[in-house]
Every structure is written in structure tokens, then in C-alpha cells.
Structure 1
Amino acid sequence: MLHPDFLRLPVAHRALHDRAAGRVENSRAAIRAAIAAGYAIEIDLQLSSDGVPVVFHDDDLDRLTDRTGPVAARTAQDLSTIPLTGGDETIPTFAEVLEIVAGKVPLLVEIKDQTPFTGDLERATAALLKGYDGPVAVMGFNPETVVRMAELAPDIARGLTTCDYSAEDWPHLEEAERARLREIPDYDRAGASFLSHYHRDLDRPRVAELKAQGAAILCWTIRTPEEEAQARTVAANVTFEGYPAAIPS
């Protein structure tokens, strides 16, 4: 089950990043800042070409570095030398981040979808989490990711990252598949205990149904106190960025 601190401490989206302050998303500096502020942390994992989980959101390097092309085409050593644009750091490995966090605050790990799905990122993630001492949970948009984590690391809390699956944001999926995923049909199969749902779609009946059945409802990504107040009419907690979310006393 999800550790109660995941419902108490607001979750810093891609850690407490602030480009103006030199803290790039998913960077060591952003992670350390979130720990210092007392927030839970959300990070993203991609897989290097040699099978090492690295902390990076996008499939490609273009937006956040001065390099181009897929993260998955480069080794972990190569990735560790690539500067993040807007800061003075390089791309961290998941192992490094686990050493930095070290159980000080809850860590919410989004395992990014890999095409084709092989389970390699899930296996590497589970191996690194073995013996980790601290509140941790994993989630993903791909239900197969969460199902695989149930097999590999059954004692770690699991959730589904979900949304309204609009055609604009998910053009690579057929409408029939988008419609299926909107109804979150894989929750029980994945042995999930929570959702992290798109905050503008929290009024979906299926979300209310799962909440009534005991699912913890988190949401993403909140960017103002007003959005947070609205989201909390449904969600137990928020994933936020761009403003200092209040920590309950």
C-alpha cells in the first residue's frame, strides 16, 4: 500500500525545479531542493542503451540538452557527460538519485513507456529498489509496466498514471484504445493502490468509482494554488510545479 506520507506531503513534479535558479527538472539540484523543503518527489526514468535507468523525462535529448536523438541510443556513461540546459549538471542515474534521497522524503517513480515494451527498464528499476529503505512507489502510463512491477517487486506500492487520453495528446493510439484506457480497466490487474490522474479530468466517474473502492487519488500537474484547491475536492494529494505548495502542519 501507499505510504501515508504520499498523501500528506505535496509531490514536487520532476523534483523542485526552477530554471531561473539553475535547477533543471529531474536534476540533482532540484532533488536536493525538494528534500530541503520537505516535499515528496516525483521523478521519471528512461533506459540507457546499456540497460541503466537514468532520471530524465523525455524520450529524446533535444528539449533539455544541446544534443539530439533518443536517450535509449546512448550509454549511461555517455549520458552522464551531457549537460542539462539551464544548469550546471548532467543527467543523473537512478542509482545516484536513490543515494541522494536515501529515504528522507517519499519518492514517486514514473517509469516511462518504452517502445517496444521489453520489461528491461522495469527489471533494472526493481533491481535498484531492492533493499531501498524509505517511502517509495512506482507508476506508469503503460499498464504493462505496472503489471510487470507487480511481478518483480510485489512489496513496492504501484499506481497507474492516467488521463483523458485526448486525440491531440495521444495521436499514436487508435480511438478504440484511447476509449479503453480512459476507463482505467487495468487497475485491478496491476494490483494498483493509487492513481495519479490528470487534474482537469478528476470528475471522471471511473475515478470516483475507484476512489470509493479505496484507491488513493493523486493528480498531475498543478501549477497554481487555485488549481490545487479545486483538485483537492477529489484528490488526496497533488503533484505540483511553479509555486510553493503548502505543507500541512
Structure 2
Amino acid sequence: MGFGKKLLAAGAVAAGAGVLAIAPRPGFDKSRHNVPGILDVPYAHRGLHDAGSGLVAGYEQESGDYVALARKMAVKAGYGSADFAGSIAPENSLASFAAAREAGYGIELDLQLTADGQVVVVHDADLERVAGDPRRIADLTYDELTRIPLFPAPAKPGDAVAKPLDAAAASAPDGYYQHVPLFSDVLKEVRGHVPLIVEYKFNGFDWSDRDDELMEKGDALLRAYDGPYVIESFHPGAVNWYKQNRPEVNRGQLADAASFGTDKKAATEWLAGLLAFDWLSRPDFIAYDWHGGDSPQVRLARTMGATTVSWTVRSSAELEESAPHFDRFIFEAFVPSRY
């Protein structure tokens, strides 16, 4: 039986156990391992960016100030220039992380492995949305990624322009652009100035040797890093990896209120949304879709001592609505405080 099937079966049993299933890491264990808390700052989703996630219809009222701040701070950090017509700091780029650092925001980011085993910072499994390139991160080397611009002009702020698969560049384009960065380079850019929320990304709920490789290599970089960070994942196996191997690290379970379906994947996601797998990971914090802050499982976890973190808040109105239910928040598309 694969890990995903085992997880589904165990989750069904744990869901019936209710309170025991949802309970976070106990306080005595936090004290024994001297686990730090999540620093109380706003966390910029995939950095402070001027192209990418969240810059979509419905958020125009505040996103203009957000984009202007991202560009201003990126230029201040030495990226691009104020008169550059294209994107200066696309999501999950070195420029976007430098911009968040300059603004004093914490940073949320995502880790994956390239074909040649490099730990890179990128959210999607492929480059279709961020570069118009349908190839998968797992099938590309880091050297290949350095030649692919993120959100190349002309592009909509929320999506790149799609191009044929055979249009992939054999060499780096001329002029300024940002590409998928190495995690090691991101850590050098941040330099411990602001706290990080580091998400380990996976394709579903199964587990492979490659997933072990991501955990081991990502953690090795974090062990050598001198700065505040916490880790999180939708996969309870990744959070459990930290429970078993790095109990001194603050760990978080990502989840949302997925609707129940008839296939294995939908059922597993539904149970994960109920926090039914927290018995496995015993997280320190719950990172939940901001819409679900008032759900029974999130309220119960918070009552039992879990810190709650909302994702992804995209307006002042959403922040006001969700704030009573969460202790920290991840944001984009609006400026939560003036600079």
C-alpha cells in the first residue's frame, strides 16, 4: 500500500478521533526543544512582486499601490530601474524577495527540485503560468531555468504569455529579466533580515525518494542559514519529516476547506482540510485559506494552542474579515501598512 493510500485510511480513522486528531504539538515538547514562535510581521506571498499571483481582476483598487511599492523596493535593492517597462520583481524571484526585505516584510516561498537535483524557489509544477513555457520544473536543469524569463513582456500581470514548446530559448535573452532562483541564492539575498515561511511543494500525497531528496537538501540549506524561519507543507509527511528529524524547527500544516469527492485524491484533500492528519505531523501552526478561519477545525486547533496563519489575503477588506480568526497573515496585492 502506497503512502497516499495509507494516509487516506489513517486519516479516516483519525477524523473519527476528533480532538485527538487535530491537537497540535504539546507545549512541553515545544519547551523541551526550545521551538521559536512565528515572528509577528506581515508575510509577503512569493515576495513583494509586480507580476504574478494575486494581481488579478477584482483587486485593482489596492493592487496599484502594491505594485508600485514592489517596484520601488526592488530598484532600491539594486534590481532593474524605475523606467523599466517590463516586470522588475515577478513572483518568487530574487528581486521580489529583495523588495520584501527592503520593505521589512516577512517572506513566504516555495521549494522544488530541478532535474539535476537543485533546490529552487518556484510555486507551480510547470512554467506555463509564470513564463508561458509548459515544461515541468522536474524536467529542467537549473541552467535551463536561468535562460527562461519570468513573466516576459508583454504579459498580463497575473499570467505570462503562452508560447509553443519548441520556442524555449537556447540562450539567455538580452536585457534585464528575472528567472527561477536557487534557494541558496534567495537565502543570501535575505541574509536573515526578515523571517521566512518555507513551503515544501509536492505533487499529491504520495511519497518517493525524490521527495526525501527535497527534504534533505532543503533542510541542509536551512541548517546553514543564520536567520529566522519556519517550515510548512500541504503534505503531512513533510511536516512529519521535521517532527522526526528537526524537532527544534517550528513546523506548520497547510490546509484549506476542500470539498468532498468520490476519488481518492478528493477524499484525501477533504480529510486534510479537516486537519485529520495533524496527529501525524503535530504542527505548531495551521496555515489555512483565509476563508476558513471560522471553521470548527481551525477554531479547535487554535483553542488547543496552534498558531493560525491565513493565506492568501489580497485586500484590506479580506484582512479585516479574517483577522479575528488568525494570529498571522500572508498577503499580496495590497499594502497592509504605509511606506
When normalised by structure 1's length, the TM-score is: 0.90
Structure 1 distance, partners of 2:265, 2:137, is 26
Name the counterpart of 1:58: 124
- Aligned: 1:113 with 2:219: no
Q: 1:18 to 1:2 in 2, by over 3 A?
A: farther
Letter in 2 for 1:15: G
Map of 1:81 onto structure 2? 147
Q: Deviations over 1:133-188 (max 9, x none)?
A: 11101101111111113233332211011100136xx9975443233222212224
| Preserved CA contact (<8 Å) 1:221 1:241 | yes
Aligned to 1:3: 37
Cα separation, partners in 2 of 1:175 and 1:68, compared to 1, 3 Å = closer
Using the alignment, how far apart are the partners of 2:131 and 2:125 within structure 1? 12
1:29: Cα distance to partner?
0.9
The whole-number CA distance in structure 1 between the counterparts of 2:116 and 2:248 is 27
Alignment root-mean-square deviation, CA:
2.0
Partners of 1:28 and 1:228 lie apart in 2 by 27
1:132 alignment partner AA: Y
Aligned to 1:235: 326
**Structure 1 gaps, min length 5:** none
Letter paired with 2:259: S
- What SS class does the counterpart of residue 69 from structure 1 fall into? strand
2:229 counterpart of 1:128: no
| C-alpha distance in structure 2 between counterparts of 1:4 and 1:146, whole Å | 16
Counterpart selection for 1:94 from 148, 158, 183? 183
1:158 — aligned with what? 251
Match of 1:26 in 2: 92
* Superposed displacement of residue 46, structure 1: 1.2
**Equivalent in 26, 33, 48 of residue 114 of structure 2:** 48
Task: Report how many aligned residue pairs link the two structures.
Answer: 243
Identity of aligned residues (%): 32
Q: Distance in 2 between matches of 1:50 and 1:177?
A: 31
Q: 1:131 to 1:51 in 2, by over 3 A?
A: same
Structure 2 counterpart SS, 1:16: coil
Determine the structure 2 residue equivalent to 1:186: 277
Deviation at 1:2, TM superposition (A): 4.5
**Residue 222 of structure 1 contacts residue 241 of structure 1 at CA under 8 Å; is this kept in 2?**
yes
The alpha-carbon distance between structure 1 residues 135 and 172, as it changes in their structure 2 partners (threshold 3 A), is: farther
User: What residue identity is the alignment partner of 2:219?
Assistant: A
Q: Output the amino acid matched with 1:217.
A: T
Structure (1/2) with the larger helix percentage: 2
Q: Distance in 1 between matches of 2:151 and 2:254?
A: 27
* C-alpha distance in 2 between matches for 1:173 and 1:62: 27
Question: By how many angstroms is 1:114 displaced?
Answer: 3.6
Rg comparison, structure with higher value = 2
Cα distance in structure 1, aligned partners of 2:114 and 2:243: 23
Structure of greater relative contact order (alpha carbons < 8 Å, 6+ residues apart): 2
Gaps of 5+ in 2: 1-34, 52-66, 72-86, 153-175
* Contact 1:231/1:238, CA 8 A, preserved across alignment: no
Deviates more, 1:90-99 or 1:71-80: 71-80
Q: What is the aligned counterpart of 2:306 among 195, 198, 215?
A: 215
Distance 1:188 1:246 in 2: 37
Contact 1:3 1:135 in 2 (8 A): no
Name the SS of the counterpart of 2:181 in structure 1: coil
Which amino acid in the other structure matches residue 224 of structure 2? G
Q: 1:107 to 1:171 in 2, by over 3 A?
A: farther
2:130 is paired with a residue whose SS is: coil
The Cα of 1:12 is off from its aligned counterpart by 0.3
- Paired residue for 2:235, among 126, 129, 142? 142
